[in-house]
Each structure stands twice: as structure tokens, then as C-alpha cells.
Amino acid sequence: MSEQLPVVSLFSGAGGLDLAVERADAEPLATDDPGSGLLRVSVATDYNEPALETLKANFHDTKTLTGDIREVPTDQILATAGLQSADPVLVVGGPPCTPFSKSGFWLEQKRESRDPNASLLDEYVRVVREARPEAFILENVQGLTYKTHKAQFERLLKALGELGYNPQWKVLLAADYGVPQLRRRVFVVGRRDGERFNFPEPTHSGWSEHSRSVDASKIPHVTAAQAFAGLPLLVRASEEEIVDGSYGELAAEIPPGQNYLWHTERYGGRNHFEWRSRYWTFLLRLDPNRPSTTLQAQPGPWVGPFHWENIRTDSDELRARRLRVNEMLRLMSFPDDFKIDGSRADVQRQLGNAVPLELGKAVARALMSQLGYMDRERASRFAAFA
């Protein structure tokens, strides 16, 4: 394209949502299709420099700005990209989800929504107010919509509504859009002209932890085995991949799709744990015939999902293994050649915080179609294809 539409990215992380908007008109589930270049992320911001290094390695034309958003003026963000107020077509981003995630609920301040990072929602509103984009996409964990955080969520919607953007929100399941992962995220989308945004219809269907109903008119959910198809098979695992230690033997004995409950009196393993005494993902193994559970950013040493196949250690013992980088990329529907430096744990931290590519593409594609930048017939054909 001779002229690309500028996008401002906040809380960019590794760039999952950024990649989604730049590939909004790419073929669904075709990770080697970069799209036509309709949208370009002109500037990306984050406080985490390693995450921005990942973004720089994959977005060569994007300017980056490192810093605490609470201390970075909107004018500076726009100037970094050579933009002025009302120039951006989109502002996108997901404020850090720690205050609203299940993983922090044992902390009283998070149960009561007193985590200081919750104020980052207000910073997102501030940039939208001052940058005046044609539209915005905000995403976060489903927990933001829970009763516990009702005050913060309602304040966010009210503030964006007062700017005239008529914000619409919906919790979407990534697997319903072709992502091989049962990951739920809330999206808030608004348009400067006040027109109502309509969320894209799911293209896939299958049973999840919340529902066993399946829409036979849609494509079946993509399974973990389908996602891993074509990846190289390695007999030996690196040391950081091996699930060993206190629960090493127990983890290796758990069948695909099962967790620590296998080793309770109600199942066929050892009677080692009390029934429902641990979190669901404790010693969880992937089921090859279903999408993965949510890929967590900072799991403990015994938190899955682990691969369904065991590996042999140098001492010839069977052990479960953690997912490899190329497998995590597939579960996030990212391109195989997406570059992330660091250890396996560093990669999982960045990918676990990211937006699955195909989920983000579905939302961005619907928005750009409704704004008139994409042909509606073409967008509909994409949806049917996915």
C-alpha cells in the first residue's frame, strides 16, 4: 500500500495485539500471510525493555518508547511516531492484567481491587482522550468483568463513554476463533463517531470448561495435536523442560488431559492428594484431542499444561516435560518465525501475557470492516473461511 493507517500501541508487551492489527486483513489461520499492510503500528510503548526488544525484532518499522505510562505524556507518544492528535486510526493495548487475574486473588489488596496497577486503565483512557483515535481496542483478562472489580470496570466504561466512543465489551473464547487454546479475554472496543461496534461471530465451536454444547454448523475447535503438526520430534529434552523433583514421578504417570486429581482416591493413580485440594492446573497434562488450557505467563514449577508425551532423562527415567518455544508459539497462533530472546521461561512469560494472534485478528478485522477500511464481503468471506 502507498499509505498505511497509523496505530498507537500501549502496554505492547511482545506485540500480540500489534501483530493482530497489522495482519487484520490476512487470511485466517495462515501464519505465513502478513496481510496487505493496511495498518501499521507507528509507535509501541511498554515499561518492560525485554518485551520491547522482542517487538523490535519483529516490527522493524515501529518506533518504541520505554517507560512508565503514568509518566509518559501523550504528546511524547504521538511525537515519537510523527503524529498529532486525531491522526491515529487506532489506539490498542492491554493494561497489565495482574490486578484482575485469578492468580493474585490470595492477596487482600487484589481481592479488594486496591492494586496500584489498576490505575493503568485510567492511563489508557487518558491517551484515548488526548490522541483522539478513530477507534480503540482494549483487551484484558476475563477477571476484569468480575463483581470484585465492578467499580473499576464501570469507571472505565463510563470514562470512555463520556469521550463519545460508545464502548462495547464482550468476553471472547480464543478457541472459538481458531486458536488452539481455551483462553478467555475481555475486549472493549469503541468508535469516535459513536457508532456501535458489533463483535465478530465465532467461527469454531467445541466444548469447554464452561459448556458442553457444540454448534455443528461451525468448524471444530483446533486441537493441540493439530496445532503441533509438523513440528520436529526431539527425543531428549533440555534440563529446563523436564518436570522433575518432588512430583516428577507423579506427573509422568498422569494420562493426557488429566491433572493431580488422577492421584486421588477417586481415580486410577496413587492416592496421594486430597480431592480438590489444589488448583486445576496443578500437574495438568495436555489432551492432544482438545485445545490447550490457558498458557500462563508465570506458572509455578508444577503448573501445567505439560505435554501429553513423556520423555526419558539421561538416567532413563520417564518424566513429563514442559512445552517448548515452538509449541507455545503454535498455541498462541503466532508465526513459527516469531522471534523471542531469552530462556524458555522468559518466552512463556511474554507469550502468556500476549493476545493470541487469531483472536486479535478477528476483532481488528471486524472493526476495520465496520469503519469502512475493509471490504465487508471480503471480511465476511474470511470469517466463513476461518
Here the CATH number for the domain that contains residue 119 is 3.40.50.150
The residues with which 46 forms a beta bridge, in sequence order, are 66
pLDDT at 246 over 90: yes
Long-range contacts of 60-65 (CB under 8 A, 24+ apart): 62/9, 62/18, 64/12
Q: In sequence order, which ranges of the chain are alpha helices (DSSP H)?
A: 16-22, 49-58, 74-80, 108-111, 120-131, 150-162, 224-228, 248-253, 325-331, 344-352, 357-370, 376-385
Residue range 68-79, pLDDT digits in tens = 999 999 999 999
Q: In sequence order, which ranges of 212-343 are alpha helices (DSSP H)?
A: 224-228, 248-253, 325-331
* Count of domains observed in the chain: 1
Q: Is the pTM of this model over 0.85?
A: yes
CB of 6 closer than 8 Å to CB of 87: yes
Residue range 138-184, pLDDT digits in tens = 999 999 999 988 999 999 999 999 999 999 999 999 999 999 999 99
Catalytic residue chosen out of the listed positions 44, 90, 97, 386: 97
**Is 123 domain-assigned?**
yes
**Is 74 domain-assigned?**
yes
**Is 64 domain-assigned?**
yes
CB of 285 closer than 8 Å to CB of 267: no
Distance CA 137, CA 118 (A): 18
Distance CA 58, CA 171 (A): 28
Distance CA 52, CA 136 (A): 21
pLDDT at 118: 57
pLDDT band at 280 (very low <50, low <70, confident <90, very high): very high
Range of the domain at 73: 5-220+355-385
Residue range 33-61, pLDDT digits in tens = 999 999 999 999 999 888 889 999 999 99
Question: 110 an active-site residue?
Answer: no
